[in-house]
Each structure stands twice: as C-alpha cells, then as structure tokens.
Amino acid sequence: MSQTLPPGVSAEEFSRALKLLTGIVGEQHVQRSEEELAEYRDPYSFAGRDEFVPSAVISPGSVEEVQAIVRLANESRIPLWTISQGRNNGYGGAAPRVRGSVVMSLRRLNRVLEVNEELGYAVVEPGVRFSDLYDHLRAGGHRLMISTPDLGWGSVIGNALDHGIGYGVYGDHAAGACGMEVVLPDGDLLRTGQGAMTGSKAWHVHRRAFGPSVSDLFMQSNFGIVTKMGVWLMPTPECTLVGTASVPREEDLEAFVDTMRQLMLDRMIDGVPTIASALAVAWLIAPRENWYQGEGPVPEEVVAEIGRNLGIGRWTVRFSVYGPQAVVDAKFAAIEKAFARIEGAEVVGATYPGDAGADIVAPPHQVPAGIPNLDMLESVKWCGPQGGHVGFSPVLPLVGSVVREQRDRVKRIVEKYGFDHIGGLLLTPRSVQDVVMFLYDVTNHEQVTAAYAACRELIVETAKAGYGEYRAHLDAMDLVADQYDFNDHAMRRFTERLKDAIDPAGILAPGKQGIWPAAYRSAPLS
C-alpha cells in the first residue's frame, strides 16, 4: 500500500516536514505506522475506506508546541486536523476530513488548570475528559457538579466546540463555555472575552468584553485551536431529582412534546431532558436479538409491547431538577400537574441528596447527576458485536406537530433503507435536536453504505421541510452545509471569507463543517 500524503505534497516534501515536526515534539509523539494510525481512522466506517485517513499523528505537549507546529504547517502547506480526544465516533471519531492530513492530537494537554468553587467554574485543557474533570473535582473535595454527555470519555472542550449536549443545568455545553485561549492558524495566540486583557480576573465569569465576542467563531469551525477554556459548573445542590414521564400510545407524541415545551419555557425542568421511544430504551438495555428476531425494522406492535413490558410507555422522557428540597418538590408538583392532562401518563421521580455521588448506581440516573460513565457504549452492538453507527441530527422547533411530521418522514426513509428507527430527542425550551442513530454491523459493507445513503436522503428531504442539521459525519459535512443556502449560500460565502482572512494558507482542518480555504475551492479534491 502506498504512503498516504497530504494533497499536493510529495513524499520527499512530506518527509522533510515530518522531520521538522518531530523536532518540535520528539520522536515518541509522532506516529506514522499503519497500526498506529488505525486508531485515527473512522472506527465505524467499513474496512478499507481510505478517504478520511491521516498521514501521521503528532501530539504536542504544550501550547508553544502547538504554535510551532502550526507555523511549520504554514510553511510546508501541510493540512492539520485537530482533535481534543476524537471520541465522537458517530461522526467520524478522530479521522480527518482531508485524506493525508496530519492529525494533531491534544490528548497530552490534559490538565485541569483551575477550579473556582466560589464562582462555579473550572479551566481545562483540551485533553481533559468529562471523567477526568469529575475525578479531579471529587479528589479536591469540591462541591461542584459537572454536566456530562452520555459517554464520559469525550473531551470537555471538544464536546463544547462541537455544540455537544449534556444533561445538567449547563447541558448546552457551548453556552456553558466562558473564555478561551486559541492558537490561530498563523500561530498567534488569542484570548477571548475578558481574557483579552493581560492579567484579567474576569476571564471565566463573563462571556463578553468590549467589542464583538469571537468565542463562537472557534466552535464547529476551522478558525483556530482552543488550548484552554473555562467551563461553568453548578454548585452541588441540596438535592437532585431524576424523573421520568411516560405516555402509553404512539399518538401521544404530540401532546407529550407540547407538554414538555410548556414546562421548559416555564423553567420547571433544569437539566436537558431527552425523549425516547420504547425501542430506543430497549436499545440501551440489550441487543436487537433480545427483542425481535424477524427481518426488517422492528414493527410498531413489537415496539408498543416492549414499552408495556418494560413499564415505560410508548414514549418516555428523562428529566432532572436541582435545588433546595422545597423548590424541587414544587417544580415536581407542577410537572405532575402538567402531565395529568394526558390520559395514562405516568410521572415518577427519584430524589438524591446533591452529594450522593457514587451512591447513585443506576447509569441512567448517574448521567443527569453529573457522574460520567461509559454504559451506553454497549448499545452500539445492537446488530452484533461489530456494531457501529452514524448520526443524523436535525434541529426542529419544539412543537408536537413538527416533531410528528419529522418523525414520519424519518421513519419512512430509515425503514426504506432497512434500519430500525432509533434515537433520542434532546430538548431545549424552544428547539429539539432529533438525533437519529443508524445502527449497523461495520463488517457489513452494504449496510454501512446504506446508512450513509439514508443520511444523505434525510438531509435533503428534511431541508426541503425547513430544517437543518446541527452536526454531521465527515461524509456529510459538505451536503449539510449546502442546505444552508439562503441568498446564494451567503453564510458559506461569509465564513469562507473569514477563513481566508484568518488562515490564508488554508492549513487548519480544510473542509471541516463544509468550510474550505481558497486553495481547495479553486482545486477541489473530488
């Protein structure tokens, strides 16, 4: 097999550049062999797919090394693909968009730089995982609770930068970020928000400073490399309530969604709630063969039966409330009252002391209580031990009829391609991220390509209805970006203008989120 190289770079040029890069970080922090690079391929793609593969991996140990690498990449025109942990396997893992990119792994930058218990924040480096931050806070005896996503192995920074969601009060992780340090594509060092002042003492307590705020520019973009970030944390509450509400009938979905919207707009629910169908709950419990042995998508009557057998209804929502007992009780009463309007709805809640910590053992209750785990990792094996998945995640207004309409659209297309309709609805007070998971066997080439094809059809059909994705697999980034087409793609024209100004050599993550630097726009890869 021939050597993987960056586009337009000869083996000799690459070898010379890599020698210089090695000089920056040391031999042991550069990986080049096939075996070593395997970890940086898309783990859930079919074997042999060679589009999204790196030429090397380099792991700097300091911000200065990141700057030096970036400067060298500018000189040698080597595209860099930065990862914090690179654990977002449903969207491509650590794999780069452009074949032959050098992956810059920030896993070695793994320090929790500050914990401020009084003001409720921590400052972390990109290699810090949710589990690391949790462990650090416990070890220090800090009375602070993190918001963790389903899997605790991801980077706190990487997740926020990708607009990721957890389940706590600051579950919109991008919104809970405050103050960044960023290495720009030319190697310059920027601090955002109040951090733009030397010696600022308000860097991580106030998001804005004087003039435009630029932090959001470094999320889901290829405009810079975030090397430090403040993350807001909730003081450990007097008590944590993890509740579920469920409704019995498939057709209850609209009323269910509308009830949740009113509760959220009224601020009766504190964490980010998730709605799941009975099939999605089953998926989290055991592989498919435990529930259904037939061919084709699991039929509706089986799904309904699973719901009844598990006692979770046809639709269920997990939610959380945090605070003094009396406030939590009053909010829970309001939640019960709201659901009482739906016939057959059931609401249950489990209350824990805020500092219960490791005493909470049920994984679905651990996560809203801010305790990271890897429990959900098993669920990828829905179709067998070599399971994989790819996600499709549009954003919809949080309105029952809209969610219903989209669900029918998705179900039709998902089942046409032979998949089960599984996923979860992540709610904000006004919107919902309707995450659809295509679960497949990675050794089944046909099934994997069918999943990608289904995604593409969903992206186009959903855009026709007026809804776009919040995140996408490497394979779909251009197509998703294409859908944001108002005024002859004014947004893409604008972000590419910014890209050219910030990264004139076009070395940082070309193609990420569909943003291509000038050189790639004039000579496309394919």
Q: Among residues 91, 134, 322, 417, which one is catalytic?
A: 91
Least distance in Å: CB of 397 to a copy of itself? 5
User: Looking at 21-29, 287-295, 320-328, 382-390, which segment touches a copy of itself (CB under 8 A)?
Assistant: 320-328
Residue 165 DSSP SS3? strand
Residue 429 touching a copy of itself (CB under 8 A)? yes
**Number of residues engaging a copy of itself in binding (CB under 8 A):** 101
Considering only CA atoms, which of 404, 435, 402 is closest in space to residue 421?
435
Q: Which is nearer to a copy of itself, 192 or 447 (CB)?
A: 192
Helix (H) or strand (E) segment spanning residue 408 = helix 400-416
Q: Which of residues 252-281 bind a copy of itself (CB under 8 A)?
A: 261-262, 265-268, 270
| CA distances to 359, 452, 505, 508 from 518, in Å | 54, 28, 8, 12
3-state secondary structure (DSSP) of residue 241: strand
3-state secondary structure 342-364: CCCCEEEEEEEECCCHHHCCCHH
Footprint (CB under 8 A) of a copy of itself, residues 465-504: 465-472, 480-481, 483-487, 490-491, 493-495, 497-498, 500-502
The residue from 5, 196, 302, 376 that contacts a copy of itself (CB under 8 A) is: 196
How much of the chain is in helix, strand and coil states, percent to nearest 5?
40, 20, 40
Residue count of the chain, please give it: 526
Q: How far is the CB of 122 from a copy of itself (least distance, A)?
A: 13
C-beta separation of 85 from 482 below 8 A: no
Minimum gap (Å) between residue 158 Cβ and a copy of itself:
15
> With CB under 8 A as the contact rule, which of the stretches 5-13, 41-49, 56-64, 116-124 interacts with a copy of itself?
116-124
- Between CA 454 and CA 362 the distance in angstroms is 34
Binder of a copy of itself out of 81, 91, 218, 516 (CB under 8 A): 218
DSSP-based three-state secondary structure for 479:
helix
Residue among 64 and 446 whose Cβ is closer to a copy of itself = 64
Residue 393: CB minimum distance to a copy of itself, A:
10
Residue choice 78, 103, 395, 448 for contact with a copy of itself (CB under 8 A): 395
Binder among 76, 148, 215, 373 for a copy of itself (CB under 8 A): 215
Per-residue b or e along 145-159, where b marks 16 or more CB atoms closer than 10 Å to that residue's CB: bbbbbbbbebbbbbb
Work out whether 189 is an interface residue with a copy of itself (CB under 8 A).
yes
Contacts of 49 (CB under 8 A, 6+ apart): 41, 42
Q: Which of 1, 35, 141, 210 binds a copy of itself (CB under 8 A)?
A: 210
Q: Which stretch binds a copy of itself (CB under 8 A): 99-107, 412-420, 449-457, 511-519?
A: 511-519
DSSP string for residues in 95-143: --SSTTPEEEE-TT---EEEEETTTTEEEE-TT-BHHHHHHHHHHTT--
Residue 348 interacts with a copy of itself (CB under 8 A)? no
Per rule CB under 8 A, is residue 118 in the interface with a copy of itself? Answer: yes
Between 291 and 332, CB nearer to a copy of itself:
332
Rounded least distance, CB 134 to a copy of itself, Å: 19
Quick check: 352 binds a copy of itself (CB under 8 A)? no
Shortest distance (Å) from residue 191 CB to a copy of itself: 5
H/E run at residue 323: strand 315-323
To the query of whether residue 170 is one of the catalytic residues in this protein, the response is no
According to CB under 8 A, which one of 6, 60, 195, 510 is a site residue for a copy of itself? 195
The C-alpha atoms of residue 378 and residue 496 are separated, in whole angstroms, by 39
Q: Could you list the active site residues?
A: 91, 470-471
